[in-house]
Amino acid sequence: MKALIVSVDLGEPDYAAHAEEFSMLARGAGADIVATVVARRSRPDAAHFIGAGKLDEAILSADLAGADIVLFDQALTPAQQRNLERRFNRRVVDRVTLILDIFALRAKSHEGKLQVELAQLQHLSTRLTRMWTHLERQRGGIGMRGPGEAQLEMDRRMIGDRVRLLRGRLARVQRQRTTQRRARSRGKTLSVSLVGYTNAGKSTLFNALTRADAYAADQLFATLDTTTRRVWIEGAGQVVISDTVGFIRDLPPTLIAAFRATLEETVQADLLLHVVDAASPQRDEQIMEVNKVLDDIGAAQIPCILVYNKIDQAGYKPRVERNEHGTIARVFVSALGRQGLDGLRAAIVESGHIAGNNASNIENLQSE
């Protein structure tokens, strides 16, 4: 599907990285980017997000390039989206809808599909204004996966009923996860979750540590469904390692809420391995974004090791670094080249013992 990207520079210092990331999202959704229009503004226009002159330029670019769809790299209000679609006479998809669309494309498990549908319906419930009626001739494609056009004709009551049903199903899944975690806890099994920015190499590292075959690819949101494997690590015994969905800047709040059950694996872990793309120029900003989400979901206090991955691309050597207290803080590895994995396993053993002791102390206090 041919797409025009409207990229809006609001003066943020990381605009270039934000724009490149959105282009990757668009390509990941199957878009053929035929033109890009950059608009610079100090603040969004209430009616169209961009100014009148830049809007005319974007409409002309879309016409000349034969674009089928317009992708905005910012979140639009329902009114802005409706106004833009009337002017472009094309479907307009904003950043939030595009991320939800990619999730609908990639979700494979029953639970993942439930979570995506819930997030899409919650997002859709604010936009039930029949704004798609002039676009009915355009079927399928980017921004229309998941619930589909039939869902757009549902009223709020029907969507509300479906949302309650999905929440009930996800609650049952969450109870099952809780039961499984309690069983692991009783067995004193160390629980480790891989977290990190999307495309940092979590799934590749997961496969290297567990000899699993989880899907790994050089694309944003290659992993959506939590995958868990048991692995024996000398010194720690049986360890449960979970590969979780990657984080991204400005992750839609509805998506964080909908994926609460999946992120619960992160919240309940004994140890977090925060996987970082060591070769990314934005790695510090990405670390901050992940830490913000961890704080949002209540996982900021869990012991965490920064795992700098892709050292073969960054020119680093495998090593383990400690902080001023002597605690392991950073481990440098290449999951693809299988470099530094022994050091990471040793770090898991050492940090796992500390995390396990802390968890036991907390559990004892709670039971008193």
Q: Is 346 known to sit in a ligand binding site?
A: no
The answer to the question of whether 83 is labelled as a binding residue is no
Calculated CA dihedral for residues 132, 129, 113, 262, nearest 10 degrees: 140
Q: Binding residue per annotation — 335?
A: yes
Domain 188-367 of CATH type 3.40.640.10: no
The annotation status of 71 as a binding-site residue, yes or no, is: no
Alpha-carbon separation of residue 239 from 19, 189, 236, 289, 356 (angstroms): 39, 6, 7, 27, 12
Question: 2-156 with 188-367: one CATH topology?
Answer: yes
Q: Do the annotations mark residue 200 as ligand-binding?
A: yes
Rounded CA-CA distance 336/334 in Å is 5
Annotated ligand binding at 235? The verdict is no
Residue 265 pLDDT: 65
User: Is residue 188 annotated as involved in ligand binding?
Assistant: no
To the question of whether residue 204 is assigned a binding role by annotation, the answer is no
203 is in an annotated binding site: yes
pTM for the structure as a whole: 0.73
Q: Where are the domains positioned within the chain? A: 2-156, 188-367
**Is 221 annotated in some ligand binding site?**
yes
292 known member of a binding site: no
In this structure, are residues 264 and 171 in contact, taking their beta carbons and an 8 Å threshold? no
Q: Is 311 annotated as a binding residue?
A: yes
Residues with Cβ within 8 Å of residue 174, at least 6 apart in sequence: 260, 261, 264
224 is in an annotated binding site: yes
What per-residue confidence (pLDDT) applies to 228?
83
The pair of three-digit structure tokens given for residue 338, joined into one six-digit string: 């299988």
Q: What is the 3-state secondary structure (H, E, C) of the chain?
A: CEEEEEEEECCCCCHHHHHHHHHHHHHHCCCEEEEEEEEECCCCECCCECCHHHHHHHHHHHHHHCCCEEEECCCCCHHHHHHHHHHHCCEEECHHHHHHHHHHHHCCCHHHHHHHHHHHHHHHHHHCCCCCHHHCCCCCCCCCCCCHHHHHCCCHHHHHHHHHHHHHHHHHHHHHHHHHHHHHHHCCCEEEEEEEECCCCHHHHHHHHHCCCCCCCCCCCCCCCCEEEEEEECCCEEEEEEECCCECCCCCHHHHHHCHHHHHHHHCCCEEEEEEECCCCCHHHHHHHHHHHHHHCCCCCCCEEEEEECHHHHCCCCEEEECCCCCEEEEECECCCCECHHHHHHHHHHHHHHHHHHHHHHHHHHHC
Per-residue pLDDT of the chain (368 residues), as tens digits, is 899 999 999 998 888 888 988 998 898 888 999 999 999 999 999 999 999 999 999 999 999 999 999 999 999 998 999 999 999 999 999 998 888 888 777 777 777 788 788 888 887 777 665 444 444 444 456 665 555 555 455 566 777 888 889 888 888 877 776 676 566 555 578 889 999 998 899 989 999 998 866 555 555 554 555 678 889 999 888 898 988 777 777 766 666 666 665 666 677 789 999 999 999 988 998 999 889 888 887 888 999 999 999 999 999 999 999 999 999 999 999 999 999 999 999 999 998 776 655 544 434 434 44
Class of domain 2-156: alpha beta
The reply to whether 223 sits in an annotated binding site is yes
Q: Which residues of 254-293 are buried (b: 16+ CB within 10 A; e: fewer)?
A: bbebbbbbbbbbbebbbbbbbbbbbbbebbebbbebbbeb
CA proximity to 243, closest of 292, 279, 196, 277: 196
